[in-house]
Structure 1
Amino acid sequence: MHERKSTQWSTDAVWDWYDEQGWPVGCNYVPSTAVNPTEMWQADTFDPETIDRELGWASSVGMNSVRVFLQYLVWEDDPDGLVDRMEEFLSIADRHGISTMFVFFDDVAFSGREPYLGPQDDPVPDTHNSQWTPSPGHERVRDRSYWPELEEYVRSIIDAFATDDRIICWDLYNEPGNSDMHPDSIPLVRDSFAWARKAEPSQPLTAGCNWNLEMTELNEVANELSDVISFHDYSDLEFTRERVDELEELGRPMLCTEWLARSRNNFVETHLPYYRKQGIGCYTWGLVNGKIQTHLPWRTAQVSITEAVGEAEPPNVWFHDLYHTDGTPYIEDEIETFREQTNRDAERPAGK
């Protein structure tokens, strides 16, 4: 276990940490029975049985880490209960040899609405991620009168798990600026790092930025504050290589915390071996094709599936995700690629 830190990790320290991790490889995980993180984490719908089963599938192909979104409103309503359920999740994941990266804030709002408590609406048929709501919600990001509670959310959760080896790192903010929130999210990105440092975690910090190259100031802020550089990439391998070359100049370990978009030429067979060769930790979007329906392309959130893919359900090619809900692989060759690339006898290339 590393010592608790209130300041940014030095490059030497974070490379030492990264070399201890092996090669982090896994997925963004939402149980197939949850339509969004609110449904995942509320007491009435928290589903440890499904989580245990599905993380077993992840572990069976060599995945050793998952990225998991929290929802501020669930903490606000039931802080102790959320921490208890996070503890249960960590215990399940750890039994499968899987570490966890929790995400605090998120601007993505495919649903077009603010988060809410209670029963969540059913998924809209033929629509990508139709009930996904942001955390804490765009209104709370823009209105600083809410921020003392946001600070308590970040600091209290990190403090509860500050020395927990089951947590690989903390992702403070997913895709700030998404859903027309740029540049309004930049101040909260800055403050979220300051709050997290006050909690003195033993795990490094990152933020899910570097997803839109036009958001220059936002990306610079996140990269300057992060211990580990994370980025999202749903492009073909040539463009991925260009992005990696640029980010390598920052001199810190890298995690691609979202990838896999088959219709955009972002494939398991092209990108997973590349990330392994480069020593870049990577997390596919999706594991199981469940209620968030991310096997459908992004455009189905704006237009009909017929217009988006030119045919009725289901589309010929899944966009994200690896498994059907019964555990059957969508493409068996992809699963074999994971098994080959995650051979535990093979060592990840050493750090810089």
Structure 2
Amino acid sequence: MKRNFTTVVFMLIFVQLFAQNKINDSLPVPGQWSVERINQWYENQPWLVGCNYYPATAINQIDMWQASTWNPERIDLELSWAADMGMNTLRVFLHDLVWADDAKGLYKRMDQFLDICQKYNIRPWFVFFDDCHFPNPKLGEQPLPVKGYHNSGWVNSPARELAERYARGEATPKEIGSLKGYVQKTIKRFKNDERVLMWELYNEPGRGTGEEGDMGAAKVNSKIGDQSKQLVYDSWVWAREVNPSQPITSTSAGSVGETNIRINRINSDLHSIHTYSGPKGIRKQVSEFKKNGRPVIVTEWLARDQGSTVDDCLTVFKELQVGAVNWGFVSGKSGTIWNWKSRTDEHGNRSVKHERDNGNVVQPGEAFPEPKIWFHDLFRFDGTPYSEDEIKIFKRLTGKK
């Protein structure tokens, strides 16, 4: 009995040592590109202009990629609009549940997506993990969008509960192996694919919902902060072990938690930062991130009623030779034409469960309601621009006639 107990204890210790790496958030994980190498790579790219992309028919990452809702025809149509205005890259979110359910099918769809992008001379990159918005992702039919609500269906990857258990060292070997396989096998599959621009490991770790909210479950904490740090660090170890031909980044500015930010900032080949401020704020933030000599891509911007506008900001990005990838493209199920404040009411919260239970949703085929001033996005579902003048600015600055 004593021997069996001792054996179990040693096995548990071994599993933990094997599963998770000791965090060293003061030094890079081995394999980071040199400053000279990443700058040479960046100089060989065009001025990178694009958007965070998912089709208007998808409410979240799962909706975009699972087989039952995969819509290449709609993607082809929307990317023709992107190419026509001069976009040459896209930031695209994957989801671990889709991979775990059908990795072979996901890779087939990714290949099809990359072929469509190549048709329009667009080189996208993929994002693996995301701590933003609703905590309980599920495969299958996704919920209908709540009217006038910013991102009523965007989900965490991995699920919040799993990310928190991972942080405490309580994830099972199977769960850890699945997350590691998701990152490593996906990068290996495309590590020498010239259609892929780069890789981004984690979008805004620690962010949480941004405000109180629910999705058919109990209310969740607004921000989770450094509870993500172990998965953030391990994602770097996993990716560097594969050593793809493309550079690797992970969100620095925009994340929550000092350790999360430090790990990503120290290890990124080039910086992925988010800024929803106007020109003055952009200049200050970009200057601060360029101090270590690495290129910068602003991978989220455009919040019109906060001063982050096409008119004021796109020229600044080009002047600074900073990549410009705004949030959103075509107004659709995500509802991101609505301000972040649309997620609150006079009591400080709008429950999406309550809204759906009361039928306040956009039904299939129903037009999406619009605020007077859009927050994100550039086109309506039918392809008409929110602002013709904005599209002209994109075309002028990207050299599209």
Partner of residue 131 from structure 2, selected from 102, 107, 112: 107
Aligned with 1:323: secondary structure? coil
Return the alpha-carbon distance in structure 1 between the equivalents of residues 44 and 224 of structure 2: 36
Return the alpha-carbon distance in structure 1 between the equivalents of residues 298 and 270 of structure 2: 11
Aligned residues of 1:40 and 1:46 also touching (Cα < 8 A): yes
**Is 1:317 aligned to residue 373 of structure 2?**
yes
Return the alpha-carbon distance in structure 2 between the equivalents of residues 293 and 172 of structure 1: 25
Aligned residues of 1:140 and 1:147 also touching (Cα < 8 A): no
Measure how far apart 1:270 and its partner are. Answer: 1.1
User: 1:278-315 CA distances to partner (integer Å, 9 max, x unpaired)?
Assistant: 111110101100110100001112337xx99xxxx632
Per the alignment, residue 239 of structure 1 pairs with: 281
Aligned with 1:338: secondary structure? helix
Per the alignment, residue 84 of structure 2 pairs with: 60
Partner of residue 130 from structure 1, selected from 121, 141, 152: 152
Return the alpha-carbon distance in structure 2 between the equivalents of residues 255 and 67 of structure 1: 11
**Is 1:196 aligned to residue 218 of structure 2?**
no
Aligned with 1:75: secondary structure? helix
Aligned residues of 2:84 and 2:400 also touching (Cα < 8 A): no
User: 1:204-225 CA distances to partner (integer Å, 9 max, x unpaired)?
Assistant: 000122115x743322211101
Return the alpha-carbon distance in structure 2 between the equivalents of residues 217 and 240 of structure 1: 23
TM-score for both structures, normalised by structure 2: 0.80
Return the alpha-carbon distance in structure 2 between the equivalents of residues 182 and 101 of structure 1: 25
Per the alignment, residue 252 of structure 2 pairs with: 209
Return the alpha-carbon distance in structure 2 between the equivalents of residues 344 and 21 of structure 1: 17
Return the alpha-carbon distance in structure 2 between the equivalents of residues 229 and 113 of structure 1: 26
Partner of residue 178 from structure 1, selected from 207, 211, 228: 207
User: 1:65-100 CA distances to partner (integer Å, 9 max, x unpaired)?
Assistant: 000000110001111111111111001011011011
**Is 1:95 aligned to residue 129 of structure 2?**
no
Aligned with 2:292: secondary structure? coil
Instruction: Report how many residues are paired.
Output: 333
Letter in 1 for 2:384: T
Aligned with 2:250: secondary structure? strand
Partner of residue 230 from structure 2, selected from 182, 187, 191: 187
**Is 1:162 aligned to residue 191 of structure 2?**
yes
User: 1:297-344 CA distances to partner (integer Å, 9 max, x unpaired)?
Assistant: 01112337xx99xxxx63210000000011100000000000011016
User: 1:80-134 CA distances to partner (integer Å, 9 max, x unpaired)?
Assistant: 111111111001011011011100000001xx33110110011111111101111
Return the alpha-carbon distance in structure 2 between the equivalents of residues 225 and 140 of structure 1: 24
Asked which structure has the greater CA Rg, the reply is 2
**Is 1:336 aligned to residue 360 of structure 2?**
no
Measure how far apart 1:49 and its partner are. Answer: 0.3
Return the alpha-carbon distance in structure 2 between the equivalents of residues 275 and 241 of structure 1: 9
Per the alignment, residue 350 of structure 1 pairs with: none
Compared with structure 1, are the counterparts of its residues 296 and 344 closer, same or farther at alpha carbon in structure 2 (3 Å cutoff)? closer
Partner of residue 150 from structure 1, selected from 179, 193, 196: 179
Aligned with 1:329: secondary structure? coil
Return the alpha-carbon distance in structure 2 between the equivalents of residues 342 and 314 of structure 1: 28
Per the alignment, residue 95 of structure 2 pairs with: 71
Letter in 1 for 2:237: A
Return the alpha-carbon distance in structure 2 between the equivalents of residues 181 and 80 of structure 1: 32
Measure how far apart 1:238 and its partner are. Answer: 1.2
Compared with structure 1, are the counterparts of its residues 167 and 323 closer, same or farther at alpha carbon in structure 2 (3 Å cutoff)? same
Per the alignment, residue 73 of structure 2 pairs with: 49
**Is 1:218 aligned to residue 260 of structure 2?**
yes
Aligned residues of 2:135 and 2:161 also touching (Cα < 8 A): no
Identity of aligned residues (%): 42
Aligned with 2:227: secondary structure? coil
Aligned residues of 1:26 and 1:282 also touching (Cα < 8 A): yes
TM-score for both structures, normalised by structure 1: 0.91
Return the alpha-carbon distance in structure 2 between the equivalents of residues 253 and 40 of structure 1: 30
User: 1:144-172 CA distances to partner (integer Å, 9 max, x unpaired)?
Assistant: 32222101100000000000111111010
Per the alignment, residue 332 of structure 2 pairs with: 290
Return the alpha-carbon distance in structure 2 between the equivalents of residues 315 and 49 of structure 1: 28
Return the alpha-carbon distance in structure 2 between the equivalents of residues 194 and 119 of structure 1: 34
Letter in 2 for 1:70: L
Aligned residues of 2:226 and 2:258 also touching (Cα < 8 A): no
Per the alignment, residue 47 of structure 2 pairs with: 23
Aligned residues of 1:259 and 1:284 also touching (Cα < 8 A): yes
User: 1:246-303 CA distances to partner (integer Å, 9 max, x unpaired)?
Assistant: 1111210111000000010000011111111111111010110011010000111233
How big is the alpha-carbon RMSD for the aligned residues of Structure 1 and Structure 2? 1.9
Question: Within 5 A, what are the aligned runs for 1:248-263?
Answer: 248-263=290-305
Aligned with 1:66: secondary structure? strand
Return the alpha-carbon distance in structure 2 between the equivalents of residues 210 and 113 of structure 1: 22
Per the alignment, residue 349 of structure 1 pairs with: none
Return the alpha-carbon distance in structure 1 between the equivalents of residues 370 and 184 of structure 2: 43
**Is 1:85 aligned to residue 85 of structure 2?**
no
Measure how far apart 1:139 and its partner are. Answer: 1.6
Task: In structure 1, list runs of 5 or more residues that go unmatched.
Answer: 1-5, 346-352
